[in-house]
Structure 1
Amino acid sequence: MSELAELERLQTQILHRIAKLELSILPSNNSPNKDLPTTTEARLSALLFDAGVKDFSFKRVPSDYYDWSFEARRDILGAASIHHLCKSIVLVNTQAASNITDCSDRQNSKYYVVVVQYTARFSAENVKNFLYTLNNGKIPKKRFNLRLAPEEISHNLTGFEHNGVTCVGMKTDIPVILDEAIAKLNPDFFWLGGGEIDLKLGIRTSEFINFAKPFIVNCSGS
């Protein structure tokens, strides 16, 4: 490991410890002083640390970030490639049986969060086929029709706004699907939403998998 890489690693560890300390001294929801909320970065950092995740980083980006090219986004985040830029999208199964209304059954949930690369073309058909197989064919294929959830529903389920959705600290325990192309990235450190529109989270792939326990699925079309 180069001296610069080692310095960055140590700096990240220090920032994480500061974030966790910040969270510990801020008032809880039961505190009489509710005018001092925790920051998103501190809250999510503490959740990751408590789960044993060590290799992650948060970065702020300019407000016009989404007007930039993938190459410019890659550069400001220090990502390894444009393929390491990913997003989390909330899907709703519009054809689920009437008794399937929540996320209590991971194998047959009303909603899923799918993490895909910005450079990939998402395939809802691949996810449909995966869920059909996951349920051993006991549920008709016509009962799986994955569509992008309306923004209001996505916000209510996750607590995050559009372009800020992340799999950490969601209001609802929504099953996560990770595109297998992300799991194969080299180096194995990718970027996704960080809970706010201008906050991005970089995380070691193996640690993300241990944390989110996603289904790893080929959900990108050719």
Structure 2
Amino acid sequence: MEEQLQILEKHVASLEARIFDKPVVIPEPPFRPEDHIDPGLIQMSKDRHLDGFCAARRVPADYYQRELEYRRDCIGAQSIDQLCKCVIYEIKDTPDPLKRYICLVVQYVDKISPQKLLDVASVVCGKKVTEVTQAKEEDATKLSGSINNAMTPVYLRPTKDFAKYHVAVVLSDKIASLNPPFFWLGGGEVDVKYGITTQKFVSTFNPIIYNISK
């Protein structure tokens, strides 16, 4: 089964090469010793067979106080469009109490449409919902295992009380169509960023790809 999946991924990669004409540049080495990346994040990458498709970088303390161009250069991104963040939302009127959270991956340069957020929440629930709010920071931290600016769907570490919840990962369609197909998001620590090829993120974390832009 795994061999068949690898063959399929190679075919998909071949097709993508015809669509995404700009080559992906993955920083080398993917994990630098001097960055002291969480061993758990590195192990997750190995366990999920992400070697060769990802990288992580520790950034300066003033990273979030600086412009996007500075952030791009810090991690070796190819454009500011590749800089992304994760926002956790709570569906207040979900019919299934265990499906109440969404982890939305969106570009920093993008703006979220409240109506489209409701629409994708309805897709997650399988029923129309009308009340979706950003999750309380305390709840989001317990759900993700990370604080604000560090949250990421690639390294969820919920507390015991929050492990019961199903977290739907929603990927902005603008990220899915990035050329080159690679983006950066949180890495579990505020000053760690994790980059991954779009195809590998989609095949590994099975997100809902949705137009959530204004």
What is the deviation of 1:70?
0.6
Verify the 8 A CA contact 1:58 1:200 in the aligned structure 2.
Answer: yes
Deviation per residue, 1:32-78 (Å, 9 max, x gap): xxxxxxx7631112112111112111101111110000111111111
User: Does 2:103 correspond to 1:113?
Assistant: yes
SS in 1 for 2:204: helix
SS in 2 for 1:57: strand
Residue type of the partner of 2:97?
T
Residue type of the partner of 2:65?
D
Verify the 8 A CA contact 1:90 1:112 in the aligned structure 2.
Answer: yes
Deviation per residue, 1:129-188 (Å, 9 max, x gap): 23435666xx3x3x3422111110100111101100011221245110000100000111
Q: Which 4+ stretches in 1 moved above 2 angstroms?
A: 5-9, 130-136
In the other structure, the counterpart of 1:130 is 120
> Following the alignment from structure 2 to structure 1, what is the Cα–Cα distance between the partners of residues 211 and 71?
25
Structure 2 matches for 1:78-117, cutoff 5 A? 78-97=76-95, 100-102=96-98, 109-117=99-107
> Following the alignment from structure 1 to structure 2, what is the Cα–Cα distance between the partners of residues 166 and 7?
19
With over 3 angstroms needed to count, the CA separation of the structure-2 counterparts of 1:128 and 1:70, relative to structure 1, is same
With over 3 angstroms needed to count, the CA separation of the structure-2 counterparts of 1:51 and 1:128, relative to structure 1, is same
Structure 2: where are the runs of 5+ without partners? 1-23
Structure 1: where are the runs of 5+ without partners? 19-38, 103-108
Normalising to structure 1: TM-score of the pair?
0.74
In the other structure, the counterpart of 1:31 is none
How many pairs align?
181
SS in 2 for 1:122: coil
SS in 2 for 1:168: helix
CA RMSD of aligned residues (A): 2.3
The structure with the largest alpha-carbon Rg is 1
With over 3 angstroms needed to count, the CA separation of the structure-2 counterparts of 1:51 and 1:94, relative to structure 1, is same
> Following the alignment from structure 2 to structure 1, what is the Cα–Cα distance between the partners of residues 80 and 25?
24
